[in-house]
Structure 1
Amino acid sequence: MAASLLWLFSVGALLFSSDAQDDYGKLRETYRKGVDLAVEKLDAHAGVQHHFLFFRSVAKSDSEPGFDVTYVYHHFYLKATVCQKGTVDSTSCPFRNDRPLIDCAVCYKTFRGDIEPRPKPYVHCVHKPALTQEMKTTRVAHCNALGYSSGSPTLLLSTGTE
């Protein structure tokens, strides 16, 4: 009886983990690059012990002013897995349900599908319970400013006085 329950739990955890990877796989490439950037930044923190995977998108948008340039905004959740940080093959890493979600917002400029170093991509991730309204406002303001740093949108907003 206990063995069958353990087997059912294992199969369920594997299916739940593969669903998350399916959701990640359904994202357009430009959004996946942002998720990968956030996971890379998260893994760089010494205090992070677990491997994190994309859980789900909250909001996403992009604008294409032309010339193969795209400005991308993606708000999403990452969730801890049972695997240790640095795990390469995460197909067998079921989610942990005893850790809070990581709330991430990223915005960046791409040129021909690659993230540009200028303006510097913005990545902000925090445990979901610690996210404040002020942090949300700062995220939006920073990402809105990122799109205007190139100057192209301001041309569309200018009005003549003649």
Structure 2
Amino acid sequence: MAAALVLLVCAGAVLYSAEAQDPYNELPDSYKKGVDLALEQLSSHTGVHHHFRFLRSLEKSEIESGFRVRYLYHHFYLKPTRCAKGTTESDPQRCPFRNDRPLMDCAVCYKTADDLIELSPRPYVHCIQKPRLTEEMRTTRTEHCRKMSYNSGAPTLLAVSVAKNK
């Protein structure tokens, strides 16, 4: 009986520590801001009925252009949760994932100055259900983000890859 109790306590500790390793919390703050932009856009859409949570990064890149100005690109997945949109959930990151809906494939690019998102050029956010994403949409995303960094005289944003997550 004591062994079963010890096993139960150990299992609880493992689950608790795994929960603390939330992928969103592991992101640098500059990339969290882009995820937050995408989540804000999704929650304002009338056709979206549930909260989403960050699942994982597919690609991240950034360019330092001097004077504490950076251009960031982040391609990631969001996963729907069981929490309804608009509920007074104290921590949406605790909402359990649901597996009966497709992932949301998102790409964001934006300029930061002193770690704050600049309004010019306007941040770009594109999210679509993963099965609906076409090659043409991927190309449009990439070209938009390249133009954003070229318009400011910076090297192309997608040419500098800081990290790729698998």
Q: What TM-score, normalized to structure 2?
A: 0.79
| Fraction of identical pairs, as percent | 59
- Root-mean-square deviation (Å): 2.1
The residue aligned with 2:129 is: 127
- CA gap of 1:91–1:148, structure 2 versus 1, over 3 A, is closer
- CA gap of 1:144–1:32, structure 2 versus 1, over 3 A, is same
The residue aligned with 1:27 is: 27
The one-character-per-residue Cα deviations of 1:67-116 (angstroms, maximum 9, x if unpaired) are: 00000000000000000113442243110000000000000000000000
Distance in 2 of aligned mates of 1:61 and 1:51:
26
Distance in 2 of aligned mates of 1:153 and 1:52:
33
**SS of residue matched to 1:142:** helix
CA contact (8 A) 1:18 1:91 kept: no
CA contact (8 A) 2:53 2:93 kept: no
**SS of residue matched to 1:136:** helix
Distance in 2 of aligned mates of 1:57 and 1:149:
26
Which fold has the larger relative contact order, with Cα–Cα distance below 8 Å and residues 6 or more apart in sequence? 2
Moved over 3 A (4+): none
How many equivalent residue pairs? 141
CA contact (8 A) 1:76 1:105 kept: yes
Distance in 2 of aligned mates of 1:88 and 1:57:
24
CA contact (8 A) 2:59 2:76 kept: yes
* CA deviation after TM superposition for structure 1 residue 22, in Å: 1.6
Q: Which letter maps to 1:101?
A: L
Q: What TM-score, normalized to structure 1?
A: 0.81
- CA gap of 1:94–1:116, structure 2 versus 1, over 3 A, is same
The one-character-per-residue Cα deviations of 1:33-92 (angstroms, maximum 9, x if unpaired) are: 000000000001001000100000000000101100000000000000000113442243
Note the residue ranges of structure 2 that are not aligned, 5 or more in a row.
1-11, 157-166
CA contact (8 A) 1:124 1:139 kept: yes
CA contact (8 A) 1:104 1:123 kept: yes
The residue aligned with 2:19 is: 18
Distance in 1 of aligned mates of 2:43 and 2:90:
12
CA contact (8 A) 1:51 1:83 kept: yes
Q: Which letter maps to 1:18?
A: E
Note the residue ranges of structure 1 that are not aligned, 5 or more in a row.
1-10, 155-162
